[in-house]
A and B are shown apart, each in its own frame.
Chain A
Amino acid sequence: EDPQADSSASPLPHLEAKIQQTHSLARLLTKYAEQLLQEYVQHQGDPFGLPGFSPPRLPVADLSDPAPGHAGLPVPERLRLDAAALAALPPLLDVVRRLQGELNPRALRLLRRLEDAARQVRALGAAVEAVLAALGAESRGPRPEPAAAAVAASTASAGVFPAKVLGFRVCGLYLEWVSRTEADLGQLAPGGPA
Chain B
Amino acid sequence: MMDISLCVKRPSWLVDRKRMRMASNSQWLLLTAVLLYLTNQVNSQKKSTPHDLKCVTNNLKVWDCSWRALFGAGRAASYEVCIEKRSRTCYLLEKNTTIPPLLPGHYEITVHPLYEFGSSKSKFILNEKNISLIPETPEILNLSADFSTSTLHLKWNDKGSVFPHYSNVIWEIKVLHKKNMEIVKLVTYSTTLNGRDTIHHWNWTSDMPLECAIHYVGIRCYIDDPQFSGHKEWSDWSLLKNISLPPDSQTKVFPQDKVILAGSDITVCCVTQEKVLSAQIGSTHCPLIHLDGENVAIRIRNISASASSGTNVVFSVEDNIFGTVVFAGYPPDIPQKLNCETYDLKEIICTWNPGRPTSLEGPRSTSYTLFESFSGKYVRFKGDEVSANENYQLFLQILSSQEIHNFTLNAQNLLGQTESTLLVNITEKVHPRIPTSLKAKDINSTAVILSWHLPGNFTKVKLLCQIEINKTNSEHELRNVTMRGVESSNYLTTVDKLNPYTIYTFRIRCSTDPFWKWSKWSNEKQCLTTEAIPSKGPDIWREWSSDGRNLIIYWKPLPINEAYGKILSYNVSYSSDEETKSLSEIPDTQHRAELQLDKNDYIISVVAKNSAGSSPPSKIASMEIPNDDLKIEQALGMGNRILLTWNYDPNMTCDYVIKWCNSSQSGPCLMDWKKVPPNSTETVIESDQFRPGVRYNFSVYGCRNQGYQLLRSVIGYVEELAPAVAPNFTVEDTSADSILVKWEEIPVEELRGFLRGYLFYFEKGERDTSKIMGLEPGRFDTKVKNITDISQKTLRIADLQGKTSYHLVLRAYTGGGMGPERSMFVVTKENSEGLIIAILIPVAVAVIIGVVTSILCYRKREWIKETFYPDIPNPENCKALQFQKSVCEGNSALKTLEMNPCTPNNVEVLETRSVALKIEDTEIISPVAERPEDRSDAEPENHVVVSYCPPVIEEELANPGAEGGGASQVIYIDVQSMYQPQAKPEGELDSDPVGGAGYKPQMHLPVTSTVDDLDADDDLDKTAGYRPQANVNTWNLVSPDSPRSTDSNSEIVSFGSPCSINSRQFLIPPKDEDSPKSSGGGWSFTNFFQNKPND
Question: Interface digits, A49-78 against B, CB 8 Å rule (1 contact, 0 not)?
Answer: 010000110000000000000000000000
Answer whether A105 and B361 are a contact pair too, CB < 8 Å, given A43-B309, A160-B325, A161-B325.
yes
Q: Are B324 and A159 in contact (CB under 8 A)?
A: yes
Contacts of A101 in B (CB 8 A): 362
Contacts of A56 in B (CB 8 A): 319-321
Contacts of A139 in B (CB 8 A): none
Answer whether A106 and B388 are a contact pair too, CB < 8 Å, given A43-B309, A44-B312, A50-B283.
yes
CA distance A107 to B321 in the complex (A): 26
Q: Which residue of B lies closest to A43 (CB)?
A: B309
Query: A45 near B: Cβ within 8 Å?
Result: yes
CA distance A49 to B314 in the complex (A): 13
Q: Are B312 and A47 in contact (CB under 8 A)?
A: yes
Q: Are A164 and B388 in contact (CB under 8 A)?
A: no
Question: Interface digits, B314-334 against A, CB 8 Å rule (1 contact, 0 not)?
Answer: 100001110111000000000
Question: Interface digits, B1055-1087 against A, CB 8 Å rule (1 contact, 0 not)?
Answer: 000000000000000000000000000000000
Contacts of A45 in B (CB 8 A): 282, 306-307, 309-312
Answer whether A46 and B321 are a contact pair too, CB < 8 Å, given A103-B362, A160-B257.
no
CA distance A160 to B384 in the complex (A): 17
Query: A32 near B: Cβ within 8 Å?
Result: no
Query: B280 near A: Cβ within 8 Å?
Result: yes
Contacts of A161 in B (CB 8 A): 253, 256-257, 312, 314, 323-325
Q: Which residue of B lies closest to A101 (CB)?
A: B362
Q: How far is the CB of B810 from chain A (nearest CB, A)?
A: 83
Q: Are A104 and B320 in contact (CB under 8 A)?
A: no
Q: Which residue of A lies closest to B310 (CB)?
A: A160
Q: Are B308 and A106 in contact (CB under 8 A)?
A: yes
A151-190 residues with Cβ-Cβ distance < 8 A to B are: 159-161, 164-165
CA distance A56 to B316 in the complex (A): 11
Query: B587 near A: Cβ within 8 Å?
Result: no
Q: Which residue of A lies closest to B312 (CB)?
A: A45
Query: A102 near B: Cβ within 8 Å?
Result: yes
Question: Interface digits, A101-117 against B, CB 8 Å rule (1 contact, 0 not)?
Answer: 11111110000000000
Q: Are B309 and A164 in contact (CB under 8 A)?
A: yes
Choose from B253, B257, B307, B308 the contact partner of A105 (Cβ within 8 Å). B308
Q: Are A164 and B308 in contact (CB under 8 A)?
A: no
Contacts of B842 in A (CB 8 A): none
Interface centre among A48, A56, A105 (most CB of B within 10 A): A105
CA distance A193 to B199 in the complex (A): 82
Contacts of B387 in A (CB 8 A): 106
Query: B363 near A: Cβ within 8 Å?
Result: yes
B511-546 residues with Cβ-Cβ distance < 8 A to A are: none
Q: Are B361 and A159 in contact (CB under 8 A)?
A: no
CA distance A170 to B79 in the complex (A): 88
Interface size, A (range)? 20 to 34
Q: How far is the CB of B972 from chain A (nearest CB, A)?
A: 134
Q: Which residue of B lies closest to A55 (CB)?
A: B321
Contacts of A103 in B (CB 8 A): 308-310, 361-362
Q: How far is the CB of A38 from chain B (nearest CB, A)?
A: 15
Contacts of B256 in A (CB 8 A): 159-161
Answer whether A159 and B257 are a contact pair too, CB < 8 Å, given A50-B283, A106-B388.
yes
Q: How far is the CB of B277 from chain A (nearest CB, A)?
A: 13
CA distance A161 to B388 in the complex (A): 25
Q: Are B325 and A159 in contact (CB under 8 A)?
A: yes
Interface centre among B361, B362, B388 (most CB of A within 10 A): B362
CA distance A142 to B307 in the complex (A): 43
Contacts of B384 in A (CB 8 A): 105
Q: Are A104 and B309 in contact (CB under 8 A)?
A: yes
Contacts of A107 in B (CB 8 A): 308
Q: How far is the CB of B343 from chain A (nearest CB, A)?
A: 29
CA distance A105 to B386 in the complex (A): 10
Q: Are B323 and A44 in contact (CB under 8 A)?
A: no
CA distance A119 to B928 in the complex (A): 151
Contacts of A159 in B (CB 8 A): 256-257, 324-325
Q: Are A47 and B309 in contact (CB under 8 A)?
A: no
Contacts of B280 in A (CB 8 A): 47
B32-84 residues with Cβ-Cβ distance < 8 A to A are: none
Answer whether A106 and B361 are a contact pair too, CB < 8 Å, given A47-B312, A47-B314, A159-B256.
yes
CA distance A43 to B310 in the complex (A): 10
Interface centre among A101, A104, A106, A161 (most CB of B within 10 A): A161
Question: Interface digits, B338-372 against A, CB 8 Å rule (1 contact, 0 not)?
Answer: 00000000000000000000000111000000000
Q: Which residue of B lies closest to A58 (CB)?
A: B320
CA distance A165 to B310 in the complex (A): 14
CA distance A47 to B323 in the complex (A): 11
Answer whether A104 and B308 are a contact pair too, CB < 8 Å, given A46-B283, A47-B282, A159-B257.
yes
Q: How far is the CB of A144 from chain B (nearest CB, A)?
A: 27
Q: How far is the CB of B777 from chain A (nearest CB, A)?
A: 80
Contacts of B306 in A (CB 8 A): 45
Q: Which residue of B lies closest to A108 (CB)?
A: B387
Q: How far is the CB of B281 from chain A (nearest CB, A)?
A: 9
CA distance A47 to B281 in the complex (A): 8
Question: Interface digits, B950-982 against A, CB 8 Å rule (1 contact, 0 not)?
Answer: 000000000000000000000000000000000
CA distance A62 to B324 in the complex (A): 25
Q: Are B312 and A164 in contact (CB under 8 A)?
A: yes
CA distance A3 to B156 in the complex (A): 99
Q: Which residue of A lies closest to B281 (CB)?
A: A46
Q: Are B312 and A48 in contact (CB under 8 A)?
A: yes
Q: How far is the CB of A158 from chain B (nearest CB, A)?
A: 8
CA distance A44 to B309 in the complex (A): 6
Q: Are A102 and B323 in contact (CB under 8 A)?
A: no
CA distance A34 to B384 in the complex (A): 29
Contacts of B257 in A (CB 8 A): 159-161
Contacts of A160 in B (CB 8 A): 256-257, 309-310, 324-325
Q: Which residue of B lies closest to A163 (CB)?
A: B325
Contacts of A104 in B (CB 8 A): 308-309, 361-362
Answer whether A164 and B325 are a contact pair too, CB < 8 Å, given A45-B282, A106-B308.
yes
Contacts of B311 in A (CB 8 A): 45
CA distance A103 to B253 in the complex (A): 19
CA distance A102 to B325 in the complex (A): 14
Q: How far is the CB of A96 from chain B (nearest CB, A)?
A: 13
CA distance A95 to B808 in the complex (A): 104
CA distance A101 to B387 in the complex (A): 12
Contacts of B388 in A (CB 8 A): 106
CA distance A101 to B385 in the complex (A): 11
Choose from B283, B319, B362 the contact partner of A102 (Cβ within 8 Å). B362
Q: How far is the CB of A44 from chain B (nearest CB, A)?
A: 5
Contacts of B324 in A (CB 8 A): 159-161
B380-408 residues with Cβ-Cβ distance < 8 A to A are: 384, 387-388
Q: Which residue of B lies closest to A165 (CB)?
A: B323
Q: Which residue of A lies closest to B308 (CB)?
A: A104
CA distance A164 to B363 in the complex (A): 16
A119-157 residues with Cβ-Cβ distance < 8 A to B are: none
- A to B CB contacts below 8 Å, 28 in the list: A44-B309, A45-B306, A45-B307, A45-B309, A46-B282, A48-B312, A56-B320, A102-B363, A103-B308, A103-B310, A103-B361, A104-B308, A104-B362, A105-B308, A105-B361, A106-B387, A106-B388, A159-B256, A159-B257, A160-B309, A160-B310, A160-B324, A160-B325, A161-B253, A161-B325, A164-B309, A164-B325, A165-B323
Instruction: List 15 additional contacts besides A45-B282, A46-B312; criterion CB under 8 Å.
Output: A47-B283, A47-B314, A48-B312, A55-B321, A101-B362, A104-B308, A105-B308, A105-B361, A160-B310, A161-B256, A161-B312, A161-B314, A161-B323, A164-B325, A165-B323
What are the 7 A-B residue pairs with the smallest beta carbon separation, nearest first? A46-B283, A160-B325, A161-B323, A46-B282, A102-B362, A159-B256, A103-B309
